[in-house]
Amino acid sequence: MKAIIFGAPGAGKGTYSSRLKEKLGVETIATGDIFRDLMKAESDLGRKVRGYVEKGHLVSDEIVLEVLKERLSKIPKEKGFILDGYPRTLEQAKTLDNITPIDVILLLDVPDQIIIERLSSRRICRNCGTVYNIRFLKPKKEGVCDKCGGPLYQRSDDNPDVIRNRLKVYQEQTKPLIEYFRKKNLPFVTATTTSIDQPPEPIVEKLIAELKKLKLA
Ligand code: ADP
């Protein structure tokens, strides 16, 4: 299965793709995670990336493409993958056509109100990147990752001003890609979230059931 997981910031792309990775044995490539790793390093590239991410702007296509190609080249041919966070613009989608075929779009449909509430209470493990929410998806012990014991932190771009910018970028540049993929006749598997405290498991099971129908899982 070569999939793109698609949805607004905070729709749950990271949460669902990491669970699908565990259950289906596919790889995940999350451009946001890659950039957060780069930002930890005091390198020129790390500083450059931080300049974009911390304002809620898109990282330049040149950097994104290099990072993506490098990750994709490490995935064995027979292994499936989920792209999380790429493509984000029409230009990136067209570039992807020349890099790899895609079998399916996993679309996460989440109302804006839920997105904003979720993003402002989201926490991430500094060590392994697992996503929590201090109101709706709590770790067993406050501030500590269930999986690896690492410390939880709030992403620097999960603050109200930057969230507003990211949602604007999503509406203007990324959302129109849904139409682009529809026109390419790619199959869509859609998961709709209706309440803020909806646990992820049933949605993950639904996605897997739909993928099985398409013979992709
Ligand atoms: P979210 O989907 O919650 O906004 P991500 O972790 O996917 O978060 O991305 C965080 C930030 O990384 C984005 O706001 C953007 O600055 C940058 N980024 C991630 N993927 C891309 C991409 N494909 N193109 C440009 N910038 C990107």
Selection from 40, 91, 41 nearest residue 64 by Cα: 91
CB 65 within 8 A of CB 95: yes
Q: How far apart are CA 135 and CA 71, in angstroms?
A: 33
The 10s digit of each residue's pLDDT in 18-36 is 999 999 999 999 999 999 9
CA dihedral sign, ordered 191, 203, 127, 118: positive
CB 142 within 8 A of CB 35: no
Tell me the H-state helices in the chain.
13-24, 31-40, 44-53, 61-73, 90-97, 112-120, 160-169, 177-183, 200-213
- Confidence check: pLDDT of 153 > 90: yes
Residue nearest to atom 6 of ligand 1 (CA): 32
The 10s digit of each residue's pLDDT in 56-98 is 999 999 999 999 999 999 999 889 999 999 999 999 999 999 9
DSSP designation for 196: T
Residue nearest to atom 15 of ligand 1 (CA): 58
- Confidence check: pLDDT of 41 > 90: no
pLDDT of residue 136: 86
To the nearest 10°, report the CA torsion of 104, 110, 112, 116: -100
Q: Ligand 1: residues whose CB is within 6 Å?
A: 9-10, 13, 31-32, 35, 52-53, 56-59, 64, 85-86, 88, 92, 157, 166
Q: CA 181 → CA 99, 104, 175, 178, distances in Å? A: 16, 9, 11, 5
Q: Give the pTM.
A: 0.91
Residue nearest to atom 9 of ligand 1 (CA): 32
Atom of ligand 1 nearest to the CA of 55: 16
Q: How far apart are CA 205 and CA 186, in angstroms?
A: 21
Rounded to the nearest angstrom, the distance between the alpha carbon of 213 and the centre of ligand 1 is 31
The 10s digit of each residue's pLDDT in 7-17 is 999 999 999 99
Cis omega (within 30 of 0) for bond into 87: yes
155 belongs to the catalytic site: yes
Average pLDDT over the chain, rounded to an integer: 94
pLDDT of residue 42: 87
pLDDT of residue 197: 85
Sequence-distant (≥ 6) Cβ neighbours of residue 209 within 8 angstroms: none
pLDDT of residue 1: 94
Beta bridge partners of 106: 5, 189
Q: CA 61 → CA 39, 90, 165, 216, distances in Å? A: 17, 11, 18, 30
Mean pLDDT for the stretch of residues 170-175: 95
Atom of ligand 1 nearest to the CA of 86: 23
The 10s digit of each residue's pLDDT in 100-139 is 999 999 999 999 889 988 999 999 999 998 999 999 889 9
| Radius of gyration of the chain, Cα coordinates, nearest whole angstrom | 17
166 belongs to the catalytic site: yes
Mean pLDDT for the stretch of residues 178-188: 96
Helix 44-53 to helix 61-73 angle (10° resolution) is: 120
